[in-house]
Structure 1
């Protein structure tokens, strides 16, 4: 079978012929129809992540969508790049049967792959960790990314009365508006916490209940100043910086809560239930994210674009076409 393969850490994968996955006890074989290139895939393949350098060669891809031998459409996760074993960017892959999630009829495989664990994180960070309630006002930092795109729509589905997004580029701001943000604030032209805080406050309708933060850094410190007493900020990433200049006075005066979130805290059952919930919304047209399908043969260029920040949409590798 054909598979994208990391031959050397720090280099894009190349497509090579590899043996068919061997069936094992408790595993199923999935014919892969869609596999997203995520920042985690790229990070693991550099050999510099906190998981350590992966043994090469290996097939990357920490998640994917495909079909079982009986035709059942499934989503599945893998540990590729984090532990020994191959991932989703191949024509077929063997995965533990306990991890596959049967998808509802009519699911768009490429859209579900694009949503994937990013949308899982957005939903669970909003509703479980962030305790979002109907009628609350939410700020979504990084509203142009996959997590942010999903969060704008999911906050609405959870009953938020007003959703304010903050984005860096013009394209991201247009996308956030299109997805339903009530107001969109630019992030690019200032690194001043008070200035950005005032900009966010001007876009809101009174104090904010919840901030969803995949950025940290300056944006998180600014958004913290918009929260009502007892308000919550949930951090699930550090795209803008590993350190944020949070001031003690703001935290103490508002009795604010700063919370961390990771998908790693979810059980397989919780991930599965969330994926099915998200797929239902996607089928109904209530949840979309911008994505580009790319043939397996073109993965080298697509991977490089993700690695150096040129990929403006989620890239979804298509190893096997539906119906092929």
Structure 2
């Protein structure tokens, strides 16, 4: 079978011929239909993350969609985080207990594109952020995959208003297409200018901010929150530190919360994938993506690493 293979940490994978993997106890061989190239894959392969240097060579891919005994399933792997191979191949091994059966007729590419990013958006808002129907939500970084999913999933959870924020014009277009009620431009580092933009976009005080950015955008968005409002942070692409106004923080008794998918139990992850797949199947969740043939993985990987992809790259064998 053909497979993408990382031969050296920090170097993009190449396509090689490999034998079909064999399943061990409690495992199954999945015939891969779609495998996304995600920031986590690049992070793991780089050898500089908290997972340590991966054992090479290995097949990357921390998640995928494929078939087992004729059933379409989503599956995770620990490729790059632990020794072993992942989803970017014609076939992959997964634990049977980790499989999530997908709805009939659902597009596997759309599920793969949403994947764990949509799981993060859903769980960060509903489980960690305790989103309830009727609340106003602010989504930062709404042009990215997590942000696009968050805009749509917040609406499905009953949010009365969703305010999106993104830096580039293209990203703001994607946020608007996802269904945001208002879109804020993050094209300045002027903190008070951003505060004004957020306040103008919100219909009164916000209840929840979903924050994959941190930095100045998060500090500005905090000004929109009501007393007791929540901010859930799950990334720091705008800065590792955040200039929060202390008076806003303690004066409104805000709750600042962190989130990571790693905290989820297997059951929680499986249930969240089911929610995401169901929304995809009903046409209620679509994120920007592009389909790339497995043989073109090197170029796709390099574009993901450089941050110039438009949405999620999904490899098809």
TM-score range (shorter-chain normalised) is over 0.9
Matches within 5 A, 1:123-272: 123-188=122-187, 190-272=188-270
How far residue 127 of structure 1 moved from its aligned partner, in angstroms, is 0.8
The CA deviation string for residues 204-240 of structure 1, in whole angstroms up to 9 with x for no partner, is 1111110000011111111111111000000011111
Match of 1:109 in 2: 108
How far residue 309 of structure 1 moved from its aligned partner, in angstroms, is 1.2
Match of 1:58 in 2: 58
Length-normalised TM-score, structure 2: 0.99
Work out whether residues 209 and 230 of structure 2, in 8 Å CA contact, stay in contact via their aligned partners in 1.
Answer: yes
SS at match of 1:11: coil
The CA deviation string for residues 79-117 of structure 1, in whole angstroms up to 9 with x for no partner, is 111111001001001111111111111111000001100
| Mapped partners of 2:275, 2:142: distance in 1 | 21
RMSD across aligned positions (CA)? 0.8
| Mapped partners of 2:210, 2:149: distance in 1 | 11
SS at match of 1:160: coil
The CA deviation string for residues 36-94 of structure 1, in whole angstroms up to 9 with x for no partner, is 000010111111111111011000000000001x1011000111111110010010011
| Mapped partners of 2:94, 2:159: distance in 1 | 38
Match of 2:5 in 1: 5
The CA deviation string for residues 135-168 of structure 1, in whole angstroms up to 9 with x for no partner, is 1111000000000000001111111111000001
| Mapped partners of 1:23, 1:299: distance in 2 | 25
Alignment of 1:318 onto 2:316: yes
| Mapped partners of 1:135, 1:100: distance in 2 | 34
Gap runs ≥5 in structure 1? 320-324
1:285 corresponds, among 269, 283, 286, to 283
Match of 2:37 in 1: 37
Match of 1:17 in 2: 17
SS at match of 2:30: strand
Match of 1:49 in 2: 49
SS at match of 1:225: helix
How far residue 23 of structure 1 moved from its aligned partner, in angstroms, is 2.0
Alignment of 1:306 onto 2:308: no
| Mapped partners of 1:43, 1:130: distance in 2 | 26
| Mapped partners of 1:309, 1:262: distance in 2 | 21
Work out whether residues 209 and 221 of structure 2, in 8 Å CA contact, stay in contact via their aligned partners in 1.
Answer: yes
The CA deviation string for residues 3-38 of structure 1, in whole angstroms up to 9 with x for no partner, is 100011111100001121022111000000000000
SS at match of 2:113: helix
| Mapped partners of 1:31, 1:289: distance in 2 | 24
Work out whether residues 290 and 310 of structure 2, in 8 Å CA contact, stay in contact via their aligned partners in 1.
Answer: no
Match of 2:293 in 1: 295
| Mapped partners of 1:77, 1:94: distance in 2 | 10
How far residue 194 of structure 1 moved from its aligned partner, in angstroms, is 1.6
Match of 1:83 in 2: 82
Match of 1:322 in 2: none
Moved over 3 A (4+): none
Work out whether residues 32 and 67 of structure 2, in 8 Å CA contact, stay in contact via their aligned partners in 1.
Answer: yes
| Mapped partners of 1:50, 1:197: distance in 2 | 34
